[in-house]
Amino acid sequence: EQAFAKIKHWMRQAQKRTVEDTWRHIGHLVETIEPGECKNYFANAGYASIKT
């Protein structure tokens, strides 16, 4: 849920009305998420890195 909070906020602000515009906007938003944010999401969600 934390990972999507940022995207949900931006999507509400954008108020896109067509499916095509929505998908295009989501694609743009995903590009703005930093690797550290993804790492923090997975750590907070309880996913562990498996190293061999």
Residue ranges per structural domain of the chain = 2-45
pLDDT of residue 27: 86
Q: Distance between CA 48 and CA 7 in Å, rounded?
A: 24
Q: Distance between CA 41 and CA 52 in Å, rounded?
A: 22
Q: What are phi and psi of 46, to 5 degrees?
A: 95, 10
1-52 confidence digits (pLDDT tens) = 566 777 778 778 888 788 888 888 888 888 888 888 888 877 887 877 666 5
pLDDT of residue 2: 64
pLDDT of residue 52: 55
Alpha helices (H) in the chain, listed in sequence order: 2-14, 19-31, 35-44
Q: What are phi and psi of 32, to 5 degrees?
A: -90, -10
With a threshold of 0.75, does the pTM exceed it? no
What angle in degrees, to the nearest 10, is found between the helix axes of 2-14 and 19-31? 130
pLDDT of residue 51: 66
